[in-house]
Structure 1
Amino acid sequence: METKAVEITEIETPLDETMSLNHSRLTYRLSISLAPYDPPFDIMPELELELMTGRAKPDISIFRNLTFNWEEDIIRYTQPPITAIEILSPTQAFDELTGKIRKIYFPGGVQSAWLVVPTIKAIHVFLPNQPVKIYTEGAIVDPATGIELQLGDIFR
């Protein structure tokens, strides 16, 4: 009797698509902190975007109040948010996200982008053609929306 070897392989989700514990907690905390701004804004976690400059899925997108049709959904939204928020994950490179901000978000019509860096409890606020503003304490202020959040509430 002939014995044959069978190889069993696991199919895993790539790590860059996996949300870490800190990433998940920050997405929640940012969403809760942004809730008082609804209205005049719609806070949209993990919304797929199809901008003229490419596809992206910010951790949180901030739009001026949208119109919703509950009978017909949209898989990839084609209008740019006012603000895109990205949370740096353990499997991402800082340069990867800054490249996304500069090559997809800003040319696609996004007016501001936040890059949240959990390991140093910092938020970098990007505006087109302006120096990056880094917040490590106090209140973060987004000039594009007027939104103001306390870092202590986000990183507690």
Structure 2
Amino acid sequence: MMTSFNHSFVHGRLIRLLGNIDKYEIFPELSIEINGVEHKPDISIYSKKKRIQQKDIIKMVELPLVTIEILSPTQPIQDLIDKFEIYFNAGIKSCWLVIPHAKSIVIYSSLDHYKTYSDDKVIDNLFNIELSIIDIFE
């Protein structure tokens, strides 16, 4: 899928801001394998224990702590919710849905439990991540 200006803008901002959190390693568009199927979240967050591997890993089987999907203008939201269902069923604990045109982020801890952030800060309580909405979207 082609990404738009807004998608790329927010993607870059999130990588930079999340990269400032010492306890996590941030991976853009890393292939993860779930039940034999390749998935590629826009951003995956892992505990900071990863290093460059002598033998590169083409598809990660270790699941990230958090996945982040950024809505593109031609993409139905339901496609991302369907991805979240796969991620949660596999054991991923937190999924973010970033909606650039609305300058909002929805953090899901399950498909039935989520919170929308669009004012001051976005907070993922499971992993103690707090970012400024302005820093992400402005």
**Same structural fold, with TM-score higher than 0.5 when normalized by the shorter chain:** yes
- 1:127 paired with 2:91, answer no
1:31 aligns with 2:15: yes
**Which blocks of at least 5 consecutive residues in structure 2 are unaligned?**
none
Once residues 39 and 32 of structure 2 are traced to their aligned partners in structure 1, the CA distance between those partners, rounded to angstroms, is 5
Secondary structure at 1:74 match in 2: coil
Who is 2:57 aligned against? 74
Percent of aligned positions that are identical: 38
TM-score by length of 1: 0.83
Distance of 2:127 and 2:104 partners within structure 1: 19
Letter in 2 for 1:82: L
Match of 1:88 in 2: 71
- Quote how far apart the aligned CAs of 1:121 are: 0.7
SS of the aligned residue for 1:68 comes to coil
Name structure 1 gaps, 5 residues minimum.
Answer: 1-16
Which of 117, 126, 151 does residue 99 from structure 2 map onto?
Answer: 117
Letter aligned with residue 57 of structure 1: K
| Deviation >4 Å, runs of 4+ | none
The structure number with the bigger radius of gyration is 1
Structure number having the greater strand percentage: 2
Alignment RMSD = 1.4
8 Å contact from structure 2 (residues 10, 136) kept in 1: yes
1:136 is the counterpart of 2:118: yes
Q: 1:93-121 CA deviation, whole Å, 9 max, x = no partner?
A: 0011011101x110111110000011111
Corresponding residue for 1:145? Answer: 127
Number of matched pairs: 138
State the Cα distance separating 1:53 from its structure 2 match.
Answer: 7.2
Cα separation, partners in 2 of 1:53 and 1:98, compared to 1, 3 Å: farther
